[in-house]
Amino acid sequence: MIDIRWKAALFICALSIVSVFLWLISSLVTALVVFALGLLLYLVNHIRWIHQLNNWLKTPDIRQVPEGSGLWEDVYSSLLKYERSNTLKQTELNSALERFQIVANAIPDGLVILSAANTIEWCTSHAEYQLGLDLKTDKNLPIVNLLRSSHFIAYLYNEVYDEPFKLKDVKSTESTLEIWLIPLATKQKLLISRDVTQIEKVDAMRRDFIANVSHELRTPLTVVGGFIETLSDMEGAIPSNIRSYFGMMQDQTTRMRRLIEDLLTLSHIESNTQAPDNNPINMSMLMNMLLNDANALSQGKHKITAQTNPHFDLTGAVDELQSALGNLVSNAIRYTPEGGEINISWQLHHNQGVFSVSDNGIGIDQQHIHRLTERFYRVDRGRSRETGGTGLGLSIVKHILTRHQAKLEITSELGVGSTFSAVFPKARIIQK
């Protein structure tokens, strides 16, 4: 670098000396003309190199970097170094991208990247196949234009992505996909699709089996129960020493009937792929009904209170929600000893509708809480049976709430009490 600067300085010095010499031996005009011509030559030389640089920058190619001279030699060698490292980085980047695409396309699940505005930015070949997309033509199109299921649209816009969502009949009436949306830090979303058609078929067989068995058992059980009831009611038909056995038979048939009804309800809800009704539900009325039912069930053994925010209602299937919320209330009564307190409330928290039932009953140890919604999971089988439980109540509640995009939240402390809350998304709340 110093050499090059010196070369330029030497040229100017030599030109100046020659010009001064010419001034002394000839005239000032001759000296100035020679000095100007020298500078012009110097300038033309630089312009030539600038022109060459400009041409090269239009289509940079490291195999054809102009050689340059003087200061330009240094510029071109820096450019060459820069372009070489750039090309190397580009090659590394390209091969990393290629490796990523090979791996992404080898994953059997489909992957789609959605922009903040829910348009398709990129997807794998499995996603193209499963969702019927074509990246070449569908890039930058809104995903809702291509996946038009109203369930999917509700799932996308509700922005509650804790659970995957089942998308049926995307391409054929047989297929079922499990869709999972994962928000990314860049406000984009990663959509993962998994083909669960086979798992769904097995699950449907299980549900059908339970539903069929329950149906088949219901009729003989009704007959047996009917006979037991008739015989029990007939004066003198049963000797007094075996009358207590008839009482036990009656209790057991009632328990079995309740179990069968719950199994049928559960399999009906599970196999129902239709979205629930979306009717406005008058929450003040529903809360009153729940309070009346609670008082009837408790028969004055508990202190039951209710708080209702009258400014907000809910949309959904009233019969399903009444059964789910009623189940939470009846559990609170069944698992709260006489003299206990139960509070039912409907409030708005952070734009979500929250229905809660709190009790100061027996409470639940932490280790059981995450399993309570499993079928037949009971903390204390004896107590559940004594109070007429089937172990299916919270399973039914969870399914009904999931159908309404709501969540069941449980907090409890053993010996202190429990709070069961159904949290409904903003989209289901109506302001009155």
- Out of 391, 402, 407, 411, name the contact with ligand ADP by CB under 6 A: 391
Size of the site for ligand ADP (CB under 6 A): 20
* Minimum separation from the CB atom of position 418 to ligand ADP (A): 4
> Helix H segments across 272-350?
283-298, 318-334
| β-pairing verdict for 341-349 and 303-308 | parallel
* Minimum separation from the CB atom of position 372 to ligand ADP (A): 5
Query: Of the two residues 148 and 301, which places its CB atom closer to ligand ADP in the complex?
Result: 301
Sign for the pseudo-dihedral over CA of 164, 169, 171, 174:
positive
Radius of gyration for the alpha carbons in the chain, expressed in angstroms and rounded:
40
Part in contact with ligand ADP (CB under 6 A); list of ranges 70-78, 125-133, 139-147, 357-365: 357-365
Task: Say how far apart CA 269 and CA 262 lie, in whole Å.
Answer: 11
Part in contact with ligand ADP (CB under 6 A); list of ranges 101-109, 204-212, 317-325, 354-362: 354-362
Is 53:77 a contact under the CB 8 Å cutoff? Answer: no
- Out of 380, 402, 411, 427, name the contact with ligand ADP by CB under 6 A: 380
379 binds ligand ADP (CB under 6 A): yes
Part in contact with ligand ADP (CB under 6 A); list of ranges 78-86, 155-163, 244-252, 360-368: 360-368
- Rounded-to-10 torsion of CA 387, 388, 389, 390: 160
- Any bridge partners for residue 260, and if so which? none
DSSP for residue 169: -
202 token code pair: 């097995």
Part in contact with ligand ADP (CB under 6 A); list of ranges 188-196, 210-218, 391-399, 421-429: 391-399
| Chain residues 303-332 in contact with ligand ADP, contact rule CB under 6 A | 331-332
Query: Of the two residues 352 and 395, which places its CB atom closer to ligand ADP in the complex?
Result: 395
Query: Of the two residues 353 and 361, which places its CB atom closer to ligand ADP in the complex?
Result: 361
- Out of 130, 265, 267, 390, name the contact with ligand ADP by CB under 6 A: 390
Task: Say how far apart CA 410 and CA 414 lie, in whole Å.
Answer: 13
CB neighbours (10 Å) of residue 350?
Answer: 7
DSSP 327-347: HHHHHHHHTS-TT-EEEEEEE
| Chain residues 334-353 in contact with ligand ADP, contact rule CB under 6 A | 335
Query: Of the two residues 189 and 378, which places its CB atom closer to ligand ADP in the complex?
Result: 378
- Out of 393, 398, 421, 428, name the contact with ligand ADP by CB under 6 A: 393
- Comparing CA positions, the residue from 100, 155, 143 lying closest to residue 118 is 143
Query: Of the two residues 170 and 392, which places its CB atom closer to ligand ADP in the complex?
Result: 392
Part in contact with ligand ADP (CB under 6 A); list of ranges 111-119, 138-146, 189-197, 355-363: 355-363
225 binds ligand ADP (CB under 6 A): no
- Out of 228, 362, 406, 408, name the contact with ligand ADP by CB under 6 A: 362
Task: Say how far apart CA 319 and CA 330 lie, in whole Å.
Answer: 16
Task: Say how far apart CA 418 and CA 364 lie, in whole Å.
Answer: 7
- Out of 324, 418, 423, 425, name the contact with ligand ADP by CB under 6 A: 418
Residues 6+ apart with CB under 8 A from 161: 155, 180, 181, 182, 183
Per-residue contact string for residues 231-270; x = within reach of ligand ADP by CB under 6 A: ----------------------------------------
Residues 6+ apart with CB under 8 A from 282: 313
293 binds ligand ADP (CB under 6 A): no
DSSP for residue 170: S
DSSP for residue 404: T
Binding interface with ligand ADP (CB under 6 A):
331-332, 335, 359, 361-362, 364, 372, 378-380, 384, 389-395, 418
